[in-house]
Amino acid sequence: MTALHLWLRHESRTTERRTPIVPSDARRLIESGVVLTVEDSPQRVFSTDAYEAVGCRIAEPGSWVTAPPDAVVVGLKELPDEPAALTHRHIFFGHAYKGQPGAETLLRRFRAGGGALLDLEYLVDDDGRRLVAFGYWAGYLGAALALLHHHGRLTAPLRPTSKEELDEQLRAAAGEVRALVIGALGRSGRGARVALGVAGVDPTCWDLAETRELDRPALLAHELMVNTVLTTRPAPPFLTDKDLDDPDRRLRTLCDVTADVGSPLNLLPVYDTPTDWEHPARRLREEPVLDLIAIDNLPSLLPLEASTDFSAALTPLLLDFEVGGAWGRCRERFDAAVRQPVAGEGESSDG
Ligand SMILES: NC(=O)c1ccc[n+]([C@@H]2O[C@H](COP(=O)([O-])OP(=O)(O)OC[C@H]3O[C@@H](n4cnc5c(N)ncnc54)[C@H](O)[C@@H]3O)[C@@H](O)[C@H]2O)c1
């Protein structure tokens, strides 16, 4: 049997410093017989030398286009616009199955070249649960940014940082805040709770059971709210414009980690554009004040921690490549999309 050849590509998005395979896991893969080529990348949070030191082959950024046909190209975010025909198997977050902007173009490129997308969002276990995700760090950062902003301590534009630095800022911002995390039992929810805990804040935690009969006055009595819900079925919104106009509202800072703008399942239909690293917070109301943070690439702000955790979850799956049922399901999802693209479900932010 020929060895699996993985090709870790350089991310074309200049702010993306994360990687799905960190050097220590690259070593593990190589020791297990995988051939691993790593493209040099100026912005990746790990140096190319660190990969070379553990036995990776090094290649030029973007050279995956001429990789051997059996190489499996691994990345996180979008591919560059060229080439028009994709001939390889690609592992990354394609955002291509819910009618998102650019989805049909990407599927057309795969159709043209005969390649395949193995979408990380659809790498799921037998029960349909995601196997690799950045949720924990998304929640951690969302809550951290919300807390810092709430105390007037958030400086823009945002830059990638380290957990030590972020935690230091959180400790310096410690103080009484009535905070609420919704979706508290999920990955992002857990991250949000831990980040608030670093600042000494013990939030109210709601998940499915607590929102079944939504207690709006209780929600609005919190000063800071972090939404980390991942929902697959319609539910009444957590906040409406009427709630924002309520003069008794104590809520001042809202962080929507879900950032599900435009989706029919959006539970916070009170804004229509996400915020970003340049302008992380946007004022939704002046009287009483309500500021929104809704950034769709939060984990990129902690590239080291996010990469390390993600790689730890992905590596065992890569060691089972083509054996594990998860990859088969991933491939079936792609084949179905290529046969009949699904449109109009709205985009989810992840990774
Ligand atoms: N902004 C970013 O950069 C970023 C990055 C990664 C993930 N995300 C998003 O974060 C969200 C959460 O992801 P996750 O990995 O934590 O998901 P998860 O499945 O681990 O957790 C979601 C939680 O929401 C709860 N939930 C579902 N419906 C609810 C409802 N009506 N009321 C209360 N709780 C409800 C679930 O029970 C679960 O505990 C997703 O929308 C994901 O796309 C955003």
Cα of 24 from ligand 1 centre, angstroms? 29
Of 195, 98, 103, 180, which is closest to residue 142 (Cα–Cα)?
195
Residues 160 and 279 in one domain: yes
Here the tokens at position 2 are 């020929």
Give the model confidence (pLDDT) of 158-191 as tens digits: 999 999 999 999 999 988 999 999 999 999 999 9
Per-residue pLDDT reduced to its tens digit, 14-25: 889 999 999 999
Residue located via tokens 């229509």: 272
Q: Does the CB atom of residue 181 touch ligand 1 within 6 A?
A: no
Domain that holds residue 237: 135-301
- Residues 231, 274, single domain; the answer is yes
For residues 325 and 258, state if they share a domain.
no
Cα 186 to averaged position of ligand 1 atoms, centre (Å): 6
Q: Are residues 217 and 285 in the same domain?
A: yes
Looking at the structure, tell me whether residues 143 and 290 fall in a common domain. yes
Q: What is the CATH number of the domain that holds 207?
A: 3.40.50.720
Same-domain check for residues 294 and 307: no
Does 274 contact ligand 1 (Cβ within 6 A)?
Answer: no
Catalytic residues, by residue number, are 77, 95
> In this structure, what token pair is assigned to residue 260?
């599900």
- Judge if the beta carbon of residue 187 lies within 6 A of ligand 1: yes
For the chain, the distance separating the N- and C-terminal CA atoms, rounded to the nearest angstrom, is 33
Domain co-membership, 291 together with 334 = no
126 and 143 inside one domain: no
Please check whether residues 86 and 180 belong to one and the same domain.
no
Q: Are residues 141 and 272 in the same domain?
A: yes
Tell me whether residue 346 is in a domain: no
pLDDT at position 180: 98
Identify the band that residue 2 occupies on the pLDDT scale cut at 50, 70 and 90.
confident
Give yes or no: residues 139 and 65 share one domain.
Answer: no
Q: How many domains does the chain have?
A: 2
Helices (H), 186-324: 187-198, 208-211, 216-220, 241-244, 303-319
pTM exceeding 0.85 = yes
